[in-house]
Amino acid sequence: MIIIVDLLLMLIDLTYSILHAIIQTFLRPRLKCIDGELCLITGAGGALGRLFALEFAKEGSHLVLWDCNTAANEQTAEMARELGVQVHAYTVDLSKRLSIYETADRVRAEVGEVSILVNNAGVVAGRRLLDCPDELLERTMLVNCHALFWMTKAFLPQMKEKNHGHLVTIASALGLFSTACVEDYCASKFGAVGFHESLTHDLLAEDMNGIKTTLVCPYIVDTGMFAGCEIRKELRSLIPPLEPLYTVQESMKAILGEQQMICIPRIMYIPFLTRALLPWEANLATYRFMGGDKCMLPFIKNVELKTSNGHIKP
């Protein structure tokens, strides 16, 4: 009898969730106020990180900015300060666990308790697997995936004490489905997605309903990170690289609307679903038709040229 009652309750929750998602698709959800919250953003010296910092500053959040590039991070900090919020910039190597923990201790002592954590930092080796130095492969995993563990362990306990906070993971569409020649990046982003989803289930199981989570999975963003990446020429206008500002603004809507997951653009939900529903051969045929099997080759070639010219350290 108990299982029948639980089944009925599950069906009610399922129906409500579907209807709620449909309504949110057509009606703008109510956005929460984050004025006065303390928001930490990793990779704040990069294109997306800087835009996230400015958008959170516009909402009135005070900022803690982390990046390995001191000059770029300070530039972001100056731009955010002009919007009237408090900004604290720290130079951090996210590939080093102790660097994360030590800087987290400094943030708590010097600034206060972080209530919004945006794990935005990301890297890619840009080499074919068999040609790639092990150190670069490890760095991708450390920054894109392992750092999420250490960041969460550093800042989640304070959120749990108050049952208040928001964890944001900037993953990738390549964490939902894969492509050739970027094994390190795909593996790290699949790991990031899995980590984020498991953590969300963990919080819900503990009834930590005041701690929200948002998973952001954008298509290739035009920041230069994947410069040269191209799908089939006839389809490029259908799925062009995303503008950074558009990506961040759509992400902010999801974060402020407490949306659990967003794919940008919405068409990215299609390959995510077909990957699970269609046979491997069917997905492979579509993938090759779109030029996905060779889309990263120009990007790899660009990285090789920059490396040979001394613009990137080998």
| Tokens representing residue 172 in the block | 């990738």
pLDDT level of residue 276 (50, 70, 90 thresholds): confident
pLDDT at 185 over 60: yes
* 71-75 long-range Cβ contacts below 8 angstroms, 24+ apart: 71/45, 72/45, 72/46, 73/44, 73/45, 75/45, 75/50
189, 190, 174: which is closest to 292 by C-alpha?
A: 174
Phi, psi of 39 (to 5 degrees): -110, 125
pLDDT at 13 over 60: yes
Selected residue with higher pLDDT from 29 and 128: 128
Instruction: Name the strand (E) or helix (H) holding 314.
Output: none
Question: Would you state the pLDDT for residue 250?
Answer: 97
pTM: 0.91
Question: Would you state the pLDDT for residue 26?
Answer: 63
Mean pLDDT of the chain: 92
Question: Would you state the pLDDT for residue 17?
Answer: 65
> Can you tell me the mean pLDDT for 38-63?
98
Which one of the listed residues 16, 90, 101, 185 is annotated catalytic? 185
β partners of residue 87: 63
State how far the Cα of 115 lies from the Cα of 104, in Å rounded to an integer: 13
Per-residue pLDDT of 72-119, as tens digits, reads 999 999 999 999 999 999 999 999 999 999 999 999 999 999 999 999
Question: Would you state the pLDDT for residue 24?
Answer: 63
106, 103, 58, 114: which is closest to 81 by C-alpha?
A: 58
> Can you tell me the mean pLDDT for 29-33?
88
pLDDT above 90: percentage of residues in the chain? 76
> Can you tell me the mean pLDDT for 153-182?
97
pLDDT level of residue 10 (50, 70, 90 thresholds): low
pLDDT level of residue 6 (50, 70, 90 thresholds): low
> Can you tell me the mean pLDDT for 178-189?
96
Phi, psi of 117 (to 5 degrees): -115, 120
Establish whether 246 is a catalytic residue. Answer: no
- 113 in Cβ contact with 64 (< 8 Å): no
> Can you tell me the mean pLDDT for 213-225?
96
In our burial notation (b when 16+ CB lie closer than 10 A, e otherwise), range 258-290 reads ebebbbbbeebeebbeeeeeeeeeebeeebeeb
Selected residue with higher pLDDT from 3 and 48: 48
Question: Would you state the pLDDT for residue 210?
Answer: 98
Question: Would you state the pLDDT for residue 27?
Answer: 65
- 62 in Cβ contact with 36 (< 8 Å): yes
pLDDT at 260 over 60: yes
State how far the Cα of 236 lies from the Cα of 213, in Å rounded to an integer: 32
The CATH classification number of 31-309 equals: 3.40.50.720
